[in-house]
Amino acid sequence: MTIQWYPGHMAKAKRQVLEKLKLIDVVIEVVDARIPLSSRNPMVDEITSHKPRLVLLNKSDLADQAVTDKWVTYFEDKGWASLVIDAQRGKGMKEIPLKVKELCKPLLDKFAAKGMNPRALRALILGIPNVGKSTVINRIANKKITKIGDRPGVTKSQQWIKVGKEIELLDTPGILWPKFEDQDVGFRLALTGAIKEEIFDFQETVVFLLDYLKKNYPEKLKNRYNLTELPEEVGELFDAIGKRRGCLVPGGIVDYDRVAEIVFRDFRQGKLGTISLERP
């Protein structure tokens, strides 16, 4: 799979974020809990390293909890705060304002030392398309403010959102694309819905998925497709699933496109169970 990363996009997003950063006390970065590194824009580290950071591991309902726990430790080791959330159902969201205040304690202490009333804390919320940033914002704001796009990369207008009296949230200006550092990152982004279906190859993506599942979640794979054994070769696995699902063309040959489509949809709909596609 070859997807271009345009330096122009990166430069524009960087300028836009830098401009807003002057106003900001804390950066909230939303990532997909199934692929916490692949669903990040690497530029964010480069330009926001001097700000306190809260990482929200969203879509945790779809991820493998044991792996997610390891990611929490990973981010904490970097000196960042992190929270495991499911923005769709509102799980873990109540802790966000508490974490923001905790991260901004030095600033709040400074206000107190000067005898000043603390102003609202200002947070910039970042995330690549489709990680659930709008869902998070809507949940935090407790009302429907941001229009949620049903396609990755839908532009949303920028605005400050009040979270009680103590926090103000600014949505990312522009679109922060992920970086396709290698093929595997592209596959992970395709599988989790961060890139459009038109631009990736189903079969290649599903070969990656089946290979990964075979190594990391063999039981889930066997259960879903009623297989007692998993063949060595991914091609044979396509055959086995195809036969189970009746994806045959005349002559009894397995239709690989149909198998790829079925496995892809099963993954997307969570029918293979909770799965993390990336490990620390």
| Residues found near ligand G4P in the complex (CB under 6 A) | 58-59, 61-62, 86-88, 127, 129-135, 148-150, 193
Q: Closest separation between CB of residue 242 and ligand G4P, Å?
A: 26
What CA–CA distance (Å, rounded) separates 272 from 275? 8
Query: Is 130 among the annotated ligand-binding positions?
Result: yes
Closest to ligand G4P by CB, 37 vs 108, is 37
Q: How would you write 201-228 as a 3-class SS string?
A: CHHHHHHHHHHHHHHHCHHHHHHHHCCC
Query: Is 235 among the annotated ligand-binding positions?
Result: no
Query: Is 132 among the annotated ligand-binding positions?
Result: yes
Query: Is 144 among the annotated ligand-binding positions?
Result: no
- DSSP secondary structure letter of residue 34: T
Closest to ligand G4P by CB, 149 vs 235, is 149
What CA–CA distance (Å, rounded) separates 169 from 210? 40
Phi first, then psi, for residue 126 (nearest 5°) are: -120, 155
Q: Closest separation between CB of residue 156 and ligand G4P, Å?
A: 7
Residue type, 62: L
Closest to ligand G4P by CB, 41 vs 135, is 135
Q: Closest separation between CB of residue 169 and ligand G4P, Å?
A: 13
Q: Closest separation between CB of residue 266 and ligand G4P, Å?
A: 14
Query: Is 157 among the annotated ligand-binding positions?
Result: no
Torsion 100-105-110-115 (CA) sign: positive
What CA–CA distance (Å, rounded) separates 277 from 254? 27
- With b for 16 or more beta-carbon neighbours within 10 A and e for fewer, the 90-110 pattern comes to eebbeebbebbbebbeebbee
Three-state secondary-structure class, residue 250: coil
Closest to ligand G4P by CB, 118 vs 193, is 193
Query: Is 60 among the annotated ligand-binding positions?
Result: yes
Residue 260 tokens read as 């790829």
Q: Closest separation between CB of residue 148 and ligand G4P, Å?
A: 4
Q: Closest separation between CB of residue 132 and ligand G4P, Å?
A: 3
Angle at which helices 202-216 and 218-225 cross, to 10°: 120
Closest residue to ligand G4P, judged by C-beta, is: 132
Residue pair 83/98 in contact by the 8 Å Cβ criterion: no
Closest to ligand G4P by CB, 25 vs 32, is 32
Q: Closest separation between CB of residue 133 and ligand G4P, Å?
A: 3
CA atoms within 13 A on the CB side of 220: 20
Closest to ligand G4P by CB, 132 vs 242, is 132
What's the CA angle centered on 3, arms 221 and 72, to 5 degrees? 55
Query: Is 41 among the annotated ligand-binding positions?
Result: no
Closest to ligand G4P by CB, 72 vs 254, is 72
Binding residue numbers? 58-61, 130-135, 174
Binding residue numbers for GTP? 58-61, 130-135, 174
